[in-house]
Amino acid sequence: MSMSEIVSFLDLSVFPSVALVFFLFAFFAVLVWALTRSKQEIEDAANIVLNDDEVVAPRHSIQNNTAARSEGEGVSHV
């Protein structure tokens, strides 16, 4: 049995319907999330770029993993 015979027996019309349902679910989830935000949260998010006084710390600290590097490996700083 060849691959074209196997694929011809599959009902591929179900995949666009599943994709549409998945997209609609994701769209409405984002829509509900956006509409449930308070006006203050939206204004705060809009003004992040304009607030020069506040320093926003990253969520995850960047760690310099020098212990894992052995001497002589990596980028040379010449």
Give the pLDDT score at 76.
58
CA angle (27, 13, 17) in 5-degree steps: 15
pLDDT at site 30:
97
Count of CA atoms in the C-beta half-sphere (13 A) of 5: 2
State residue 61's pLDDT score.
Answer: 65
Span 26-70, pLDDT tens digits: 999 999 999 999 999 989 888 888 877 767 677 776 665 555 555
Name the residue ranges covered by the structural domains of the chain. 3-46
- Taking the model in full, what pTM does it have? 0.49
Residue 6 is predicted with a pLDDT of 76
pLDDT at 37: 92
Higher pLDDT, 7 or 62: 7
